[in-house]
A and B are shown apart, each in its own frame.
Chain A
Amino acid sequence: MSTDLTEEQKPELETAAHSTGSGLIGRARQTEVWRSVFRHPPLNSPRGRALQSFSNVFLHLYPVKVPVRVLRWRYSLRLGFIAIVLFTVLVVTGVYLMFFYSPTPAAAYVDMVQLKTGIGFGQLVRNVHRWSAHLMVLVVVVHLVRVFYAGAYKRPRQFNWVLGMALLLITLGFSFTGYLLPWDQLSYWAVTVGTNMVNYVPLVGKYVRDILLGGKQISGATLQRFYALHVAILPLSLTLILPVHIWRVRKDGFAVERGSTGALDPKACPGRKASTAALATAAQNGDGDGRRVRLLGVVDRESVTQEEQVTDDTVFAWPHLMVRHVVATLGVCATVLALGVWFQAPLKDIANPNLTPEPAKAPWYFEGLQELLSRFNPLVAGILLPGAAVMSLLALPYIDRNPATEARNRKVAISLFSMFLGLAVVLTVIGFAFRGPGWQWQWPWKHSYIEW
């Protein structure tokens, strides 16, 4: 029993012992309840900060220490983290919307109207859900682009790029299935145009489309299917793959800095001893991965202790990375709330299969494809080009074997990708903003046919 111990003995026996702070919080930290929850020593020592990470399941997602450069906003623009925050916002708002939504043609549209008029926070939550969804597609795409230009898909992170591609496709699936759910003219025709593209797939296209729609055209069966995909299949898939994606960032090591050949480049750390630099380079040449953790494995304990003092460029994830993540979370929440307050999610007339709007546009991220289809043979524009694009993106880390990450040493990869990206952006912008009835050219400032 701890009551048998003197006050002096307690801190020695319990790692959970906290500093003897004064005031209410200080006294609360001395209580048995507090110590049973927070079992780490005070956070004013390196040991305390490390033990806090070890003893907390949530903080355990983070490495105990991260390289200083990871803290900088410019390092990754925090895009991956922002995407996760947006996904969380979407889960929370989506569950709220589920309380008031039934996926039947008779009820779905009425539920949308009801959200506007009769349900507390209904329209606000729907606005936030919609703008977060669009933002998430955008952020995930920009994340991919940034990772490409940083060369962060290269060995040993090849497979994480593939996982990222899977997450991108799931995100698009989320957005596309969610697009149908309001069951208004916008959603009905956007999904009609979107699923018609599947028709161009040779041999199996028609069957795939039938399975997707649950029939020859969009109906109650489609709504049911898209709903099940949207609230069950896709969230499960994403929740399964996302932790692997994050985990592998840690296991494969943080991406190297642009312009550096490796995390342990002696030029990057002038204070490093020459012998360690040599070791580091050797480790890097061995498996293309020069993380210090590997290095720890090959040198004896004493020399590690010495090197730590000279070359440590890491800081504790708590508080430095975590505070930055909390701030990023607040920033994302503030952005989507402000968007939701000022901009209303669109709701047109109830879906009507006999009244085609002019122009009928796919969701914005497929409008580049739609634009392409309007210019070329459907087999080329609908299948060969996008298929080749997705396939080469998936296989990119295995095609591009060049280990360099600096732009000047990977001119071919960067030129090709930039051309592809430029084309995709231009086509999407044209389809999104510059097309009117009959897919004729339309200056958006004369008459806008922009739909979100």
Chain B
Amino acid sequence: MPVDQHEERQLDPPWLQRSLDRHYAWGLVFMAVLVVSYTVYQWREPHLRADAAGTQVVNSTSQGRDIFASRCATCHGDNATGGQTAPTLNSKQFLEAASDPVIRNIVSSGIPGTAMPTWSIDFGGAMTQQQIDAVVSYLRSLEPKAPSIPNWRQAAQVK
């Protein structure tokens, strides 16, 4: 390589070669800016994402509360405290047993052979995936204060 470079320099007048060198320097400066920017991004990203997620959960929970009141409370009771025909969801045992994906699945697809219908709009139901996620956020928000109800399925068994 050094041999090649030496020969190339002879092709161009010195001022042109100096100008080329200045451009290489600028290229290095821009690369440094790219590296620094990316580092800053990596450093800020977790905070930004956590902040956005926090806001999203708050919004989603409040939307989920409204949806639950209008669509779910008829069977599951106001504030998920249990109804005549469906399980009590505001229960420590239920919320500990059921992960978010499990609740999302049940709401989306329903439970065959029970009164729980298919809710997802993808399967002919009435709720978008985002609305179902909101309901999940709402139920999850109940967990810290959920009362201990070991027989939370009971309402379903009564049916």
Contact = CB atoms under 8 A, between A and B. Distances in A.
A323 B20 contact: yes
Contacts of B4: 19, 21, 42-44
Interface stretch (B40-48, B72-80, B104-112, B138-146): B40-48
Interface of A: 19, 21-23, 25-26, 42-46, 49, 68, 71, 106-107, 110, 113, 116-117, 123-124, 315-316, 319-320, 323-324, 326-327, 330-331, 333-334, 337-338, 340-342, 344
A337 B37 CA distance: 7
A106 B128 contact: yes
Given A319-B20, A330-B31, A331-B26, A25 B1 contact: yes
A70 to B, nearest CB: 13
Contact of A330 (B16, B30, B52): B30
B12 interface: yes
- The CB with the most chain A CB atoms within 10 A, among B1, B7, B41, is that of B41
Given A331-B30, A333-B30, A323 B7 contact: no
A257 B40 CA distance: 42
23 contacts: A23-B1, A25-B1, A106-B130, A107-B128, A113-B56, A117-B49, A117-B52, A117-B53, A124-B45, A315-B12, A320-B12, A323-B23, A326-B27, A327-B27, A330-B26, A333-B30, A333-B34, A334-B31, A337-B38, A340-B37, A341-B38, A341-B41, A342-B40
Contacts of A106: 121, 128, 130
Interface size classification for chain B:
20 to 34
A380 B103 CA distance: 59
Interface string B1-29: 10110011001100010011001101100
Contact of B40 (A44, A113, A341, A344): A341
A106 B33 CA distance: 39
B8 A43 contact: yes
A316 B33 CA distance: 29
Please classify the interface of chain B as helix (H, G, I), strand (E, B), loop, or mixed, using the class held by over half of its residues: helix
Interface of B: 1, 3-4, 7-8, 11-12, 16, 19-20, 23-24, 26-27, 30-31, 33-34, 37-38, 40-41, 44-45, 48-49, 52-53, 56, 121, 128-130
Contacts of B30: 327, 330-331, 333-334
A333 B27 CA distance: 11
Contacts of A107: 128-130
Given A71-B19, A334-B30, A337-B37, A117 B24 contact: no
Contacts of B24: 323, 327
Contacts of B3: 19, 21-22
